[in-house]
Structure 1
């Protein structure tokens, strides 16, 4: 039957503060004094604007706050980020933004937005391999109504698109070709010192990958000629006073700093072999050539000479402690811009934004101050909130895991991850032991691949060994494996079952990881190939769990393979182990969801706390679009042998269990997905396991913090009714709490 739904009470979304974490790929600044406007873009969380009065960043687009949600799309793939953002130099309250396939414009410094008429395009690569290429979107310095964008498509949609009326109409420039290869891109540079042609800046440069750099001397609408000898691949270009500067590559590497003038042509700047990004002061005298690791060389004479490369960079936290303590010795540069009024160099980088006050030019070590408050751009993988201690364990890509007590949600962590030995440690899964919520295991891509905590996540230590099919990293001995991350399930302390990625078969340990053995299925050890175990580290997939009420009991869901051959039929279904994970026997011989293609990616299998053997299952994110596939949530009361559809949510990306509502004897169900045609966060407070088809759902809310990012992972508090945690695809984490619960608290 169709579920009943309603909007319930008053709920509040609150940020769980982590602080940055992902790549800031571009930054712009324009204006002076109180008119100064600074924006940045991220590869997973959209664009941001700096609020000087509040000393923090704020998302540029906020659905239901400063823009009609109907003018936006949910961000796909999970956390699609911002292609580019640009401030009009002649009118700094005018901002253009390309995000989630559309171009938007604001005339009031981001207080409100409208969508321009440029048609939707799903190939703007905010998170592509060329995401740090600058600048892709540019506004004419003398006319805020003239804007150009480089479309990276290699076909008819690619090339330079221009609007002369603030986005009301657009036209493709016939002389600028589309890039010759995908995922490489384009860039635009106006020369603000070149004078005017009517109400337009005279000199404009456009780069298209594989072709080179084109130049117009009659404005962006004028005739373009290819500059002879121009590089076919760059990462950044800047034009000032008749000089064109280029550096970097579209893949984010450094390249020789080159300078072009009409009189001399191209020259390689001596002593600068590795420029990635270029920043020029408004007077043209100070030029920064920044390399890929965010060290720099500085010229004080307009580029005639450059000082020595800074030997290193010293990071200093201001608000977000872990930005100083984490291993970010190689600071992946996204961009840098000058604020010469304040003598500040701003840097966009791999975990956030930084500022260098009075940057030294003599080769001494600069101090970069963390400047990322308000930006949250980690990719969520799993949230674990143990039912008794309510501690928040947030697993992410890039930084593995962050642990917080529930009351610390507004405080930035002092540390993050399990170790600082290796950066970019992609977290996979996490679990706590039966009977001991302080005993935790987390699996990831680096730093030992599997780490154990005995103090609730305050400290971590790698296991002594890893299974043979896992790609070992220090300190473990070398192996020939390919897997890492994936799922981990913990029985009693010391007993773990690990399903790594790369379609590698699971292993079990009974001694805290000192030794491992492959799990047996119906008495036989499966082959390590030919089946879809856990394919990809980026999947938010849970197909392995431990029964906390029956320590040593584990469940595993296997989808078989896409060939549906004899091997697939032999292993497909739900498996159960009652001996700590050494031997599994099959409880079900078929898929749970409707087809292999849905179950094989972001599915989640979970057990209701305190209600063993009740199991729930969803297929997770199915389609990279705004529609909801009618697949739903499934329930089993018999250890996975049979399943019933839970009425209500059509395509839940994840679900969670929270404290039962007053008067109810079953934990509250929460789900993010489609309900009655609306995507958002929903709850069911009167679930009856005898009648799953009669479930009634209430909508908690949509657009956490105005974000159109999707809720890909959920967890809820079993101690406080009405508290649920929502991890977004590329924008960090929120908690949703009912006002009634706040009043009771």
Structure 2
């Protein structure tokens, strides 16, 4: 249940975001962009959660105003009336897709309407753009953008630390931002419109997760981590004079200014040896609380401590629930929060504790003593201060049936975001690597034998990275393949599925397909870690429309995930594994495999949707065809196809040899191509200078050809387009408020409902569009 497997997809999808038009051959009639199509409604196919909740921010200015940030899926605002989250960054588009990586959020403590976000996905080359500070005067309904002169990393190591962005509670025009990559501390004095580096700040940080990572991902300096104002040191309209800042430096991690940021000094006698993950100032009694760990997380961390600083006299006191010096210490600390209604009450979480579960600690005496969310009684048995109710999101068990001391569902992992509601001491929320949990009876914790009830508080928050989607002509309307949470069968597009694809549990799934003429037969391939799961093969097969799956066999020598294709009548599977393994085929539904000839390793493969003997493949600008069930392929004479970039192609149901191909890159050919002769030749569709994926849905009334859906750039506008006349004309069906970043790695129409289209996003889950 680890989450780092997202990264390869993001590297791939990042390459898609930098496209430009290319000229092409003339064989197909010119496409035209028609006026905006009939109105579409857009919503998520519900899964709820699925990714890392890296930050939760409660407003100090308005009750029930809460924001959540994610590493790849944007930012959300809580609606108390519906107990659900509203996405705030769906306007982020193809060119600025990195804005969906949210580094930090700051809610103005004196003006409930104002909120700020620091955004950017990666600090290395994977994100081509610099980061930005977004500012809103209407709780995120609209935004203004200030671009920064450096990159930010919402999906970089250390992303759960912070908050890096803060508003002065006494002077709302003043904001500070702690930058990564050695860029230092930055300040704005005009509500985030302009920013300048604080030249006097002495330490830009020096900690990197992996100095040997040549990609720049693990070797980036994690920088300045958090900013905490002492509100007692200012007055309304006058800047707070005392400011504390945490830095990614294990020896010099905490600094203080006594003159509103003009000068800075290292806080004396501070603890050393660990990173100050979180810093929370409690002004009633004048304590600065610090949670530390030996790494920035979110996937690792094995030692750490909790400290408090008496700001009046500079005295430090270690208040660790389990000190790092203890033989029982095996995790660092993060997720630090103070109850603003009861300021001696605080909570802290294990940064990462995979086994047997995450741990939460609570103190009602300022850290003098602690109680735990769970404790061992007689091993392997545990006692619990909580019960979990996941009836709204039942898949959170991950299909596990563990033995004590483990349980399912788990409290979580990657628990770096933990917050007590400042207006309601009975409510807290926390983020995990898979969802957002919370409780509305937190005070029960403090009662003898009391238990709190923890539930997912994640309705409306969707953060899955979708790699493949299929919509069969019969059975469930939608199946997905995803990173991290495998994928789902959706029998009802309005309900959360009971379980992900399991038995076998292939980890993240990269590809799924069904037999067009026998859609109850399906196959999927995944990314399971063979070293940790040597008895699990990377392929699952279903003979009953995805209700049940059994484990297929891998070819000799093993196989990575890659792409799977199923013959129209289910007689043959063709698998193109990742990692350089050869393309293989099976006539026994995955029980045994033989190597295909004539096709390059790593080629994308698809089946003809009419003729069971025909399969197709594409690699390096060449198109390949097989007429013997994938046993052998031959390169066709088709030319002028894109040699580089991410290329997608699919065969049309009901029409043998009818193929559409989309993709390319700005360094070569780019666009949309069509073949009606099994790939022997292709004509480029004029008027579609850029296209990145193609999907098919039910034909329009009176039409005799499938509806085409394309993620493309047409008429100078990038978006999601549809054609009801075989590509002669196109209509954009999304709008500027529904762009979803670099969406479209997965795309399909619904063969049963005209106008319905499913789009996979890179962090915002599955989007369904319905023609109105």
With the length of structure 1 as denominator, give the TM-score of the two structures: 0.83
Task: Identify the residue that residue 466 of structure 1 maps to in structure 2.
Answer: 554
> Which of 500, 504, 510 in structure 1 is aligned with 2:581?
504
Name the counterpart of 2:296: 250
Greater RCO structure (CA 8 Å; 6+ sep): 2
Q: Which residue of 2 aligns with 1:410?
A: 494
733 and 639 in structure 1: CA distance in 2 versus 1, 3 angstrom threshold? same
| Range moving further from structure 2, 396-405 or 250-259 | 250-259
Q: Which consecutive residues of structure 1, in runs of 5 or more, have no partner in the other structure?
A: 64-68, 471-480, 535-542, 560-571, 689-694, 740-745
Q: How does 1:638-653 map to 2 (within 5 A)?
A: 638-653=677-692
Higher deviation after alignment, 190-199 or 247-256: 190-199
1:122–1:467 Cα change, 3 Å: farther
Distance in 2 between the 1:342 and 1:266 partners? 25
Q: 1:419 to 1:144 in 2, by over 3 A?
A: farther
Give the match for residue 91 of structure 1: 111
In the alignment, which residue of structure 1 is the partner of 2:195?
170
| Whole-angstrom CA distance in 2 between matches of 1:62 and 1:608 | 31
2:89 paired residue number = 61
* 2:343 counterpart residue number: 284
Task: Please list the CA deviations of residues 720-744 of structure 1 after superposition, one character each: whole Å capped at 9, or x if unmatched.
Answer: 22221111222112222222xxxxx
In the alignment, the residues of structure 1 paired with residue 233 and residue 762 of structure 2 have an alpha-carbon distance, to the nearest angstrom, of 45
Gaps of 5+ in 2: 1-25, 121-130, 209-219, 325-331, 376-383, 401-408, 529-535
Contact 2:638 2:679 in 1 (8 A): no
Matching residue within 640, 652, 676 for 1:608: 652
Q: Identify the residue that residue 10 of structure 2 maps to in structure 1.
A: none
Q: What residue number does 1:538 align with?
A: none
Give deviations 1:350-405, integer Å, cap 9, x for gaps. Answer: 12211123342589875420100111111111110123557211221111121123
Residue 722 (1) aligns with residue 758 (2): no
The Cα shift of 1:456 comes to: 1.2
SS state of the match for residue 583, structure 1?
coil
Match of 1:323 in 2: 396
The answer to whether 1:263 aligns with 2:263 is: no
Please state how far the C-alpha of 1:127 moved relative to its aligned partner. 1.2
d(CA) in 1 for partners of 2:596 and 2:387?
Answer: 47
- The correspondence for 1:352, drawn from 415, 419, 435, is 435
Aligned pairs for 1:328-347 (under 5 A) are 329=410, 330-339=412-421, 341-347=424-430
| 1:587 and 2:636 aligned | yes
1:29 alignment partner in structure 2: 58
**Separation of aligned partners in 1, 2:159 and 2:503:** 28
Deviation of 1:702 after TM superposition, in Å, equals 2.3
Give the equivalent residue in structure 2 for 1:436.
518
Query: In 1, distance between residues paired with 2:619 and 2:676?
Result: 19
Q: Secondary structure at the match of 1:323?
A: helix
Q: 1:348 to 1:503 in 2, by over 3 A?
A: same
Residue aligning to 2:485: 399
Deviations 1:141-188 (A, max 9, x none): 33332211122133xxx1111112212332211133434351524212
Q: Counterpart in 1 of 2:767?
A: 734
Q: Is the 8 A contact 2:696 2:748 kept in 1?
A: yes
Where does residue 537 of structure 1 map in the other structure?
A: none
Q: Which moved more, 1:208-217 or 1:50-59?
A: 208-217
Distance in 1, matches of 2:649 and 2:505, equals: 33
- Matched-pair contact (CA < 8 Å) for 2:226–2:278: no
Residue of structure 2 in register with 1:299 after alignment: 363
* Aligned residue in 1 for 2:213: none
Please say if 1:82 is aligned against 2:102.
yes
The whole-number CA distance in structure 1 between the counterparts of 2:228 and 2:551 is 52
> What are the superposed Cα offsets for residues 106-158 of structure 1, whole Å, 9 maximum, x if unpaired?
2333343333xx4345621111122212212112233332211122133xxx1
**Is the aligned partner of 1:103 residue 2:133?**
yes
1:225 corresponds to 2:265: yes
Q: Which moved more, 1:209-218 or 1:396-405?
A: 209-218
User: What are the within-5 Å matches in structure 2 for residues 597-676 of structure 1?
Assistant: 597-598=644-645, 602-619=646-663, 622=665, 631-676=670-715
From the superposition, tell whether residues 420 and 264 of structure 1 become closer, same or farther in structure 2 (CA, over 3 Å): farther
Question: 1:492-539 deviations in whole A, cap 9, x for unaligned?
Answer: 335211111112211222222222222222xxxx8xxxx7626xxxxx
- With structure 2 as the length reference, what TM-score do the two structures score? 0.80
State the alpha-carbon separation in 1 of the partners of residues 561 and 765 from structure 2.
Answer: 23
Contact 1:390 1:718 in 2 (8 A): no
Query: Structure 1 residues 266, 458: CA separation in 2 closer, same or farther (over 3 Å shift)?
Result: same
What's the counterpart of residue 475 of structure 1? none
Secondary structure of the residue aligned to 2:644 is: helix
Local SS of the residue matching 1:670: strand
- Partner residue in 2 for 1:565: none
> What is the distance in 2 between the residues matched to 1:215 and 1:586?
64
What is the rounded CA distance, in whole Å, between the counterparts of 1:547 and 1:385 in structure 2? Answer: 16
Aligned to 1:184, which of 222, 226, 235?
222
Q: 1:520 aligns with which of 597, 618, 624?
A: 597
1:7-60 Cα distance to aligned partner (Å, 9 max, x none): 22222223322211111111111337x534211101111111111122211112
Contact 1:492/1:552 (8 A) holds in 2? no
Cα displacement string for residues 73-125 of structure 1 (whole angstroms, at most 9, x for unaligned residues): 74435x8421211212233332111234321222333343333xx43456211
Distance in structure 2 (CA, Å) of the matches to 1:97 and 1:519:
51
- The SS at the match of 2:106 is strand
Residues of 2 paired with 1:338 and 1:495: CA distance?
55
Of stretches 246-255 and 131-140 in structure 1, the one that deviates more from structure 2 is: 246-255
User: Aligned-pair RMSD on alpha carbons?
Assistant: 2.9
Classify 1:269/1:701 alpha carbon distance in 2 versus 1 (closer, same or farther; 3 Å): closer
SS at match of 1:616: strand
SS across alignment from 1:410: coil
